[in-house]
């Protein structure tokens, strides 16, 4: 999340001038690596309240998909195109998945562990 | 003041499993249509580049966001910290679900309309050193986003879920509420910085 926000601030600080994409690409890659690492580590948890996790995840994903969608719409409406649009949309996708993961984990870690099937 | 607040917030809430536990609705569903209407109107005003509406959304959203943050951080927080355990739990059970819906809506309203307004008025094209004020505003919003999304909102949700349990863990609720009060104070300070930046930009 921090990398995505830093990348977003960096790009926004250049608008409407041309943005050098090297730093945003590095930041995006780091954010993606961290998100995937988080998900892998999370998926290895056995004694965990997965029911609550997915209950929270579903709804927060919906909410943050709407927010990310609105931000993406503003970028497109403003005429952002090409590589910059791809980077921004990728950042928004990471944002829309990462926040629900953080929120769901924060809730589920304190809940009773699911009974084994 | 902060010390007293934190000290009280950290006090164990052993009695949260009190006889009159508040019923908790995590998301106030009745208010969802209002949010949908507000966000819909925001999209329409962005699509139409409707200057008055963009200004309205930015000023109303930003004013409420700043006001609520400052009020919660510096008025509500210390009061809640000094309340009895039962009163604190009952207040939070009603307060937090509303915040869960209100704050993301205000933030989306303010940021989306503010960005579009700056683009529409060509404000982002100003050269340095004036442009630093915009960069500073992005940075402050970035810090607030990290604090709100990474600490405040998870703590808020976790408290609500904990309170819904048949036997809530009072010590855990106290710990999470302490985090909530701390972060509300931090975002309050950030909001003062935003006020300085925005009034500076508005008076160029």
Whether residue A58 is predicted with pLDDT greater than 70 in this model: the reply is yes
- Rounded CA-CA distance B173/B10 in Å is 9
ipTM of the complex, rounded to two decimals: 0.78
State pLDDT tens for residues A72-83: 888 888 777 888
- Rounded CA-CA distance B25/B98 in Å is 10
pLDDT-derived band at A116 (thresholds 50, 70, 90) equals: low
Q: Is B130 helix (H, G, I), strand (E, B) or coil?
A: coil
Q: Tokens for B186, please give them.
A: 């931090």
Q: Tokens for B136, please give them.
A: 């500073």
Contact check, Cβ <8 Å, A12/B138: yes
Q: Tokens for A98, please give them.
A: 């990462």
The Cα of B7 is separated from the nearest Cα of chain A by a number of Å equal to: 23
Sign of CA pseudo-dihedral B31, B173, A42, A51: negative
Give the nearest partner residue to A103 out of B146, B153, B162, using CB atoms.
B153
Residue B22 confidence (pLDDT)? 58
Cβ(B58)–Cβ(B117) under 8 Å? yes
Q: Tokens for A18, please give them.
A: 């041309």
With CA atoms as reference, the chain A residue closest to B131 would be A13
State pLDDT tens for residues B127-141: 788 888 988 988 998
As a whole number, mean pLDDT of residues A62-87 equals 85
Whether residue A11 is predicted with pLDDT greater than 90 in this model: the reply is no
Burial A13-48 (b: 16+ CB within 10 A, else e): bebeeebeeeebeebbeebbebbeeeeeeeeeeeeb
As a whole number, mean pLDDT of residues A47-71 equals 89
DSSP 8-class letter at B76: I
Positions of chain B with pLDDT lower than 70, given as ranges: 1-23
With CA atoms as reference, the chain B residue closest to A68 would be B108
Residue B49 confidence (pLDDT)? 87
- Rounded CA-CA distance A53/A44 in Å is 14
Residue B4 confidence (pLDDT)? 38
Contact check, Cβ <8 Å, A107/B154: yes
Whether residue A94 is predicted with pLDDT greater than 80 in this model: the reply is yes
With CA atoms as reference, the chain A residue closest to B130 would be A13
Residue B7 confidence (pLDDT)? 40
């Amino acid at each position: 999340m921090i990398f995505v926000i830093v990348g977003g601030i960096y790009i926004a600080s250049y608008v409407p001038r041309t943005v050098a994409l090297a730093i945003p690409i590095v930041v995006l890659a780091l954010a993606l690596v961290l998100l995937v690492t988080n998900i892998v580590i999370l998926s290895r948890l056995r004694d965990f309240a997965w029911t609550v996790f997915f209950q929270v995840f579903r709804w927060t994903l919906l909410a943050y998909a709407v927010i990310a969608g609105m931000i993406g719409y503003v970028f497109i409406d403003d005429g952002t195109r090409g590589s910059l649009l791809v980077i921004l949309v990728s950042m928004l996708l990471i944002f829309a998945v990462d926040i629900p993961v953080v929120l769901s984990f924060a809730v589920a870690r304190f809940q009773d562990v699911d009974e084994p099937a | 003041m902060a010390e007293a607040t934190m000290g009280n917030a950290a006090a164990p809430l052993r009695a949260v499993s009190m006889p009159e536990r508040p019923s908790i609705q995590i998301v106030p569903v009745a208010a969802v249509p209002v949010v949908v209407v507000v966000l819909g109107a925001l999209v329409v005003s962005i699509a139409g580049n409707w200057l008055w509406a963009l200004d309205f959304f930015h000023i109303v959203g930003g004013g409420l966001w700043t006001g609520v943050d400052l009020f919660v951080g510096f008025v509500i927080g210390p009061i809640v910290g000094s309340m009895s355990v039962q009163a604190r739990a009952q207040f939070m059970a009603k307060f937090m679900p509303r915040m869960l819906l209100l704050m993301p809506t205000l933030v989306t309203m303010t940021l989306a309309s503010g960005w579009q307004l700056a683009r529409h008025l060509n404000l982002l094209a100003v050269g340095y050193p004036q442009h630093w004020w915009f960069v500073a505003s992005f940075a402050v919003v970035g810090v607030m986003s990290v604090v709100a999304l990474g600490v405040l909102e998870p703590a808020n949700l976790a408290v609500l879920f904990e309170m819904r349990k048949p036997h809530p863990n009072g010590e855990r609720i106290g710990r999470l509420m302490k985090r909530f009060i701390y972060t509300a104070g931090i975002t309050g300070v950030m909001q003062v910085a935003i006020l300085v930046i925005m009034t500076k930009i508005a008076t160029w």
